[in-house]
Amino acid sequence: MIPFFDYRPEIAPIAGEIDAAIARVLASGRLILGPEVEAFEHEFAAWVGAPDAVGVASGTDAISLALRALGIGAGEEVLTVANAGAPPVAAIRASGAIPRFVDVDPESLLLDPALLERALGPRTRCVLPVHLYGRAAPMEPILAFAARHGLAVVEDCAQAHGARPQGHHAGTRGAIGCFSFYPTKNLGALGDGGACVTGDPALAARLRRLRMYGFDGDRVAHVEGVNSRLDELQAAVLRVKLRRLDHHLSRRHALASAYRRALEGSSIRCPEPPEPAEHAWHLFVVRPLDRARAIAALDRHSIGHAIHYEHGAHRMEAYSFLGYRAGDLPQTESACASVLSLPLYPGLDDRAVTAVAAALREAE
Ligand SMILES: Cc1ncc(COP(=O)(O)O)c(C=O)c1O
């Protein structure tokens, strides 16, 4: 049995440090917005290479609060992709804004910047590229397009801790980068969590207000805020895990290379290996000729798998009011019909990669 994801082998060697971090919080008398969150914000910002980080309750909240901090809201449009499932779309809607979808590049499955111009409308305010599967979206043309039209750029880095194209960590080129610490992510908490990174002190201050009812250190709402806080326990655990993150990322790279080697010469389409720094290998997503057959073979061998994502957000029931029809985003729809995610996490061993590849070859 090879599970699709298992945090236990990653946690086992650091269980003592995690226990000590939890004990430290319990003894501190402070459970919400205290020294652990503050220290984690500094340490995470430094690791990413951003001037500031603001801890929030989830990656979804990080995006919706980022949009709100930029003054983007009701009736205004945000350009994004539909192949990252519901979360970025739910986040855009939580801010009151409206998602407008841009199709993806057929190879990288990331936002295709050549299609931005035709998605632009009079109410467009922002571009939200998603660094999907851990691979950095092409920021140069996205930033150039945004600058030409006076739009903000907010980066969805929920899957991209560790992607550093041309030396810039994902999330540090746009106005705000939004991270998730959902347990499966490259840096996962023992529950929910998220953070915004930014180089603009005014935006950081607005985000700190928004995450706490619009307060300013007092108990008066100066702007309409929400309750979206990273808690002390999660921050303390994340501090321990952050110290191992580079090591875990190199294991992800090694596993991705091992998958590519093991599937070489097969009909299974593997992701192109970009420059190593461009990819943080959150997911290893293949495109078999016959996905149902590949899934049946993995099931026969008790190998976990997942689909990220089976349905484009543009065709989900909740978003039917946006008016998209089948065929509107052909590359997105073709990706949704063919992608298959294989197990990939730091605790996975090399024998598992061999077993997964053998099962997939059986289904060719
Ligand atoms: C691409 C993407 N964006 C946003 C999110 C939202 O993160 P969270 O689950 O922490 O709210 C996720 C995670 O589910 C994601 O994968």
Confidence of residue 272 (pLDDT cuts 50, 70, 90): confident
- Per-residue burial over 109-135, b if 16 or more Cβ lie within 10 Å, else e, is bbbbbebbeebbeeebbbbbbbbbbbb
Summarize pLDDT for 37-62 with one digit per residue, the tens: 999 999 999 999 999 999 999 999 99
Ligand 1 centroid from CA 60, angstroms: 6
Q: Report yes or no: 194 and 94 within 8 Å, Cβ to Cβ.
A: no
Distance 274 CA to ligand 1 centre (A): 23
Using most ligand atoms within 8 A of CB, pick from 58, 60, 157, 181 the residue to mutate for ligand 1: 60
| pLDDT of res. 348 | 96
- Measured in degrees and rounded to the nearest 5, phi and psi for residue 52 equal -145, 150
Is the C-beta atom of 70 inside 6 A of ligand 1? no
Digit-coded pLDDT (tens) for 293-328: 999 999 999 999 999 999 999 999 999 999 999 999
Q: Closest Cα partner for 152 from 198, 195, 212, 210?
A: 198
Region 118-126: mean pLDDT is: 98
> Mean pLDDT throughout 120-127?
98
pLDDT at 274 over 90: no
Per-residue pLDDT, 309? 95
Looking at residue 364, what is its pLDDT?
84
Copy the structure tokens of residue 65. 């609060």
Q: Mean pLDDT across the chain, nearest whole number?
A: 97
The pLDDT of residue 243 is 98
User: What is the reported pTM?
Assistant: 0.98
Q: Averaged over 84-93, what is the pLDDT? A: 98
pLDDT of residue 108: 95
Closest C-alpha to ligand 1, atom 14: 87
362: pLDDT strictly greater than 90: yes
Q: For residues 115 and 141, is the Cβ–Cβ distance under 8 A?
A: no
**Is it the case that residue 276 has pLDDT exceeding 90?**
no
pLDDT for the residue 220: 96
The finding on whether 59 has its CB within 6 A of some atom of ligand 1 is yes
CA of 180 to the centre of ligand 1 (A): 6
pLDDT value at residue 10? 93
